């Protein structure tokens, strides 16, 4: 399961460092970042992340970043995302605890700190999403020999505009009363799910037949069973999950679709941005470079006031000359001192992969 997160911090270098460390976790999915209170609140309400990294003592006081953002979330949301405070001051920790934040990490963030935090967050989210629906089975259908609670896994990520997916996510049965599934789903919905595992359970099954099917199931890890069933439901109803990112450049009714993996780098051009592709083509988008920086995640990294680079197209980094070389071309992109830390993180990321230094 992926855990979408956003970063709200007025320090762009700190945003990049947090993102670089979080990229080491396959289950964490970067969504966007914001540098002030208003943009951060709008992103949360629009994108519904599960995790928020929040700076509460900004260097730029005009950003208005503080714990007050959490209070504002309660005005609009029933379920508040897991909030991780990232700041350099210890003395704000007690106040943050009163706001029931999930964790408090001191800057500069270290990988081991995020590992510990993520494990706690993952456990807390799992506990929040598994709850008990008592007496879900009508009395006339209940078996007194079987416990009368059905555990249902709910995941808000899968709910929204798709009513079928939303209803399925509302009714994923966790065990052990799998023979009562049809009392939760209607026959029509049940056939739409078309899950061969659950098809074994019919309203007229005998207890012996149920036991024969249940026995191998109970020998498996029940947590993995729930996740498998939920994945089958959602994947069937929404085949676009985990698809590669596609950028749509729209201009006066013209929709241009670009695979993000084909983009080498972005170059600022006043209030527009030139997008350079790996085939040598260039497409202009009428958005600023800062706009793309806010919506794109790794491997896209800003290295200069005028450039965002796709790290997958780097063939060479010369720190002495402060330039990055693009694969299969003669293009060299400069990086500035203010983004030197971003380049250092790129070098570090290369060394963390399947890497041999000679």
What is the pLDDT at residue 288? 92
Q: How far is CA 255 from the centre of its chain?
A: 27
| pLDDT for res 27 | 85
- Last residue in a domain, options 107, 128, 149: 128
Which residues of the chain register pLDDT less than 50?
Answer: 131-137, 141-142, 144-194, 196-207, 210, 215, 217-221, 234-235, 240
Q: Which two tokens stand for residue 263?
A: 């983009």
Pairing of strands 300-304, 307-310: antiparallel
Structural domains counted in the chain: 3
E-only strand ranges, the chain: 3-8, 28-34, 51-54, 82-87, 103-106, 130-134, 149-153, 172-173, 246-251, 254-259, 263-269, 272-277, 282-285, 300-304, 307-310, 314-318, 323-326, 332-334
CATH code at 110? Answer: 3.40.50.2300
The pLDDT score that the predictor gives to residue 150 is 39
- For 72, phi then psi, to 5°, come to -65, -35
Pairing status of strand 28-34 against strand 3-8: parallel
Pick from 131, 119, 134: nearest CA to 82: 119
pTM > 0.75: no
Residues 193 and 76 in one domain: no
* pLDDT for residue 190: 44
297: CB partners within 8 A, 6+ apart: 19, 23, 29, 30, 31
Distances (CA, A) of 153 to 17, 71, 98, 170: 34, 28, 29, 7
300 and 343, same domain (yes or no)? yes
Q: CATH code at 285?
A: 2.40.50.1020
Q: What pLDDT sits at residue 254?
A: 87
Quick one: tokens of 245? 């990112």
Look at residue 185 in the predicted model and tell me its pLDDT: 47
């Amino acid at each position: 399961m992926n855990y979408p997160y956003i970063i709200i911090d007025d320090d762009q270098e700190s945003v990049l460092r947090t993102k670089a460390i979080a990229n080491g976790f396959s289950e964490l999915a970067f969504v966007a970042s914001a540098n002030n209170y208003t943009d951060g609140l709008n992103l949360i309400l629009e994108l519904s992340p599960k995790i928020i990294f929040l700076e509460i003592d900004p260097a730029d006081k005009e950003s208005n970043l503080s714990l007050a953002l959490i209070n504002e979330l309660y005005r609009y949301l029933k379920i508040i995302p897991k909030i991780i405070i990232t700041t350099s001051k210890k003395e704000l920790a007690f106040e943050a605890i009163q706001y029931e934040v999930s964790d408090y990490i001191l800057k500069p963030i270290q990988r081991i700190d995020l590992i510990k935090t993520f494990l706690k967050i993952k456990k807390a989210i799992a506990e929040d999403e598994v709850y008990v629906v008592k007496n879900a089975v009508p009395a006339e259908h209940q078996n007194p020999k079987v416990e009368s609670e059905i555990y249902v896994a709910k995941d808000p990520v899968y709910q929204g505009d798709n009513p079928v997916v939303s209803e399925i996510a509302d009714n994923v049965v966790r065990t052990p009363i799998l023979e009562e599934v049809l009392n939760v789903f209607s026959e029509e919905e049940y056939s739409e799910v078309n899950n061969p595992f659950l098809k074994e359970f019919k309203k007229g099954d005998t207890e012996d037949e149920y036991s024969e099917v249940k026995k191998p199931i109970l020998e498996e890890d029940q947590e993995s069973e729930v996740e498998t069933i939920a994945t089958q439901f959602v994947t069937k109803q929404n085949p676009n999950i985990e698809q590669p990112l596609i950028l749509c450049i729209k201009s006066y009714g013209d929709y241009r679709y670009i695979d993000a993996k084909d983009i080498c780098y972005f170059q600022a051009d006043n209030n527009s941005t030139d997008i350079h592709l790996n085939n040598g083509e260039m497409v202009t988008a009428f958005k600023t470079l800062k706009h793309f920086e806010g919506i794109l995640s790794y491997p896209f990294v800003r290295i200069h006031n005028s450039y965002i680079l796709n790290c997958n197209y780097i063939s060479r980094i010369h720190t002495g000359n402060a330039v990055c070389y693009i694969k299969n071309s003669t293009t060299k992109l400069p990086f500035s001192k203010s983004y030197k830390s971003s380049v250092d993180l790129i070098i570090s990321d290369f060394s963390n992969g399947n890497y041999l230094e000679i």
